[in-house]
């Protein structure tokens, strides 16, 4: 079971006078159980890429395989509902999609929609709300009275409630304060390590890539520029070899170097760097 992109292309507005090629001939494999970061400059195709994973977008050419599902232009997906249950997609600012009167019913909506009966859906709602750090006192409250960070938790709980194997997160910490972002990232890591979820995360945050992810996919103008494990990605030789260095990578490197961290090939020691970074950031 894994995720494979084979010769995938996506052209928006394909059969119009203004087509826009967002992805070109993407070939990738994402291992089951991995925590993969998708990075790249704005407009490089990250969101377009991940929206193929639950067939929200269909390829204009090539295909995506997710477990036993084949997502291909012009081919009907065997069981779209089941695919969407296996692949939970969390959009940017998912809190805008909350709509029920209480937090409990909002979170229970997903499982009910997938045919789980009311009682179990509510039990799941309680469980996942606890997991995202909201206790039972929140169940009867309106989702609209919460802070931005709490709303984000409710929205993510709504996806976790139907227990997808794969979690696709499109900039999940955008707009959160550093502590809220850290708590969210710690939750995703726990879902990955303790619950075996495959996590695919679009992000601009290099600290999160370094501290939480195993693999990095760098997109550039709709093409795959680089696939690397995290340790090798942050080596000088890799960063310097990139044709275009997205500003967030350059800035992250500058910040770390300013703190005295070297990206030198031999001196690079990921566990030590992560530990030191944690200390540094915790004290800010």
Ligand X SMILES: Nc1ncnc2c1ncn2[C@@H]1O[C@H](COP(=O)(O)OP(=O)(O)OP(=O)(O)O)[C@@H](O)[C@H]1O
Q: Which residues bind ligand X (CB under 6 A)?
A: 12-13, 20, 22, 40, 42-48
For ligand X, the closer of residues 233 and 261 by Cβ is 233
Least Å distance, CB 276 to ligand X, is 29
Compute the distance between CA of residue 37 and CA of residue 188 in angstroms, rounded to an integer.
Answer: 12
Q: Which is nearer to ligand X, 48 or 150 (CB)?
A: 48
Distance in Å, CB of 168 to ligand X, minimum: 12
Query: CA 129 to CA 34: how far, in whole Å?
Result: 24
Cα 98 to Cα 236: distance, rounded to the nearest angstrom: 43
Please, which residue, 20 or 179, has the CB nearer to ligand X? 20
Choose between 57 and 187: whose C-beta lies nearer to ligand X: 57
Distance of closest approach, residue 43 Cβ to ligand X, in angstroms: 4
Alpha helices in 43-117 (DSSP H): 46-50, 80-86, 103-113
Strands (E), 103-148: none
Burial of 36 (0-12, 13-18, 19+ CB in 10 A): buried
Q: How far is the CB of 208 from ligand X (least distance, A)?
A: 15
Cα(264)–Cα(255) distance, rounded to whole angstroms? 15
For ligand X, the closer CB: 44 or 54: 44
Round to whole Å and give the CA distance between 84 and 68: 13
Q: What's the gap between Cα 38 and its chain centre?
A: 8
CB of 243 to ligand X, least distance (A): 16
């Amino acid at each position: 079971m894994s995720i494979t992109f084979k010769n995938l292309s996506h052209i928006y507005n394909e059969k119009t006078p203004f087509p826009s090629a967002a992805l070109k001939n993407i070939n990738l494999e994402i291992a089951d159980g991995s925590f993969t970061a998708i990075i790249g400059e704005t407009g490089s195709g990250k969101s377009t890429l991940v929206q193929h994973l639950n067939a929200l977008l269909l390829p204009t050419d090539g295909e995506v395989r997710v477990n036993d599902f084949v997502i291909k232009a012009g081919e009907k997906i065997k069981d779209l509902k089941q695919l969407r249950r296996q692949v939970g997609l969390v959009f940017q600012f998912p809190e805008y999609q909350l709509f029920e009167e209480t937090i409990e019913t909002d979170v229970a909506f997903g499982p009910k929609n997938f045919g789980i009966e009311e009682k179990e859906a509510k039990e799941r709602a309680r469980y996942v709300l606890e997991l995202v750090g909201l206790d039972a006192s929140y169940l009867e409250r309106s989702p609209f009275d919460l802070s931005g960070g709490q709303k984000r938790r409710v929205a993510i709980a709504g996806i976790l409630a139907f227990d997808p194997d794969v979690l696709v997160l499109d900039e999940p910490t955008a707009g959160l304060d550093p502590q809220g972002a850290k708590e969210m990232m710690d939750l995703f890591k726990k879902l990955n390590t303790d619950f075996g979820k495959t996590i695919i995360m679009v992000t601009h945050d290099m600290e999160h890539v370094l501290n939480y992810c195993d693999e990095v996919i760098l997109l550039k103008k709709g093409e795959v520029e680089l696939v690397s494990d995290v340790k090798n990605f942050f080596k000088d030789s890799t960063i310097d070899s990139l044709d275009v260095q997205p500003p967030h990578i350059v800035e992250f490197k500058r910040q770390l170097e300013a703190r005295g961290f070297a990206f030198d090939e031999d001196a690079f020691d990921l566990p030590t760097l992560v530990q030191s970074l944690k200390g540094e950031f915790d004290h800010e």
